[in-house]
Amino acid sequence: MDIVQAIIIAVVEGLTEFLPVSSTGHMIITENLLGVDLNDPFVNAFTVIIQFGAILSVVCLYWKRFFHINEVPEGVTGIKRLLARYDFYWKLLVAFIPAAVIGLLLSPVIDKLLGSVAVVAVMLLGVGVLLLFVDKWFARDTDKPLTEKRAFKIGLYQCIAMIPGTSRSFATIAGGMQQGLTRKTAAEFSFFLAVPTMLAASCYELLKLFMKGDASMLASHMTVLAVGFVVAFVVALGAIKWFVGFLTKYGFRAFGWYRIVVGALLLALLLSGVDLSMVD
């Protein structure tokens, strides 16, 4: 992977990370079109790590809320005081647990799915159809309280996004709406939940490289990785602001039609025998 390929892939990641169109799916398609070797361990690590770069834009834009610690009334002591003081982080942890457990258990299966344009195409199309109806199914004018139980269920929805082409953003926002949150609140919780999720995924990819003895690969590609990380972060800063406004006003329907068109086009190309790789 060269610098130009890294920049293109990072721009795609930054634009799509927070949209319900599957950033991973779009990166897989882009990497195939650019002729990137998807079996290269560095490419897999690059794909996950630049996603974390995009996710850090959430911390930058929402830093006051992300680092907010609750005031606790006098008389509340022990574990109750601790949980009340760090309620935000506690619920993020609860929502993160399902993805951590299932991600570890199914890591080999997930790795096999990453790189399959056919899987991406099917999921783009299928989830696209669902997006046409999500707003009607889960329309909310006011939020229900975000309890530990609701946070955990949203975390279960996030696990669906381990299938490339699904979209972590779609899964967690739809899960939040199903649990009684408004689109805006569900979207913001989805952004916050992405931080521990992608941090863990990035650390896990780095650990796999070290365990396989491929750590030197990172050093030799550090410039490419750094450029991709920064580009994804900067592009995502603009994308996240636009997405919150658009989603709050218009909902999911436009994204549904986009996914249907892209998914159908990809399936038509694959079924007609077109090689989506630009490599000879």
Q: Sign of torsion, CA 116 119 121 127?
A: negative
Predicted TM-score of the model (pTM):
0.81
190-249: per-residue pLDDT in tens?
989 988 988 888 888 778 777 777 667 777 788 898 999 999 999 999 888 888 788 878
Alpha helices in the chain (DSSP H): 3-16, 23-34, 41-61, 63-66, 78-85, 87-105, 107-113, 117-131, 134-137, 148-160, 168-178, 183-211, 215-220, 222-250, 253-271
78, 242 Cβ separation under 8 angstroms:
no
171-194: per-residue pLDDT in tens?
999 999 999 998 888 988 998 998
pLDDT value for 279: 39
The DSSP secondary-structure symbol of 277 reads: -
- Direct distance between the N- and C-terminal alpha carbons of the chain, in angstroms, rounded to an integer: 16
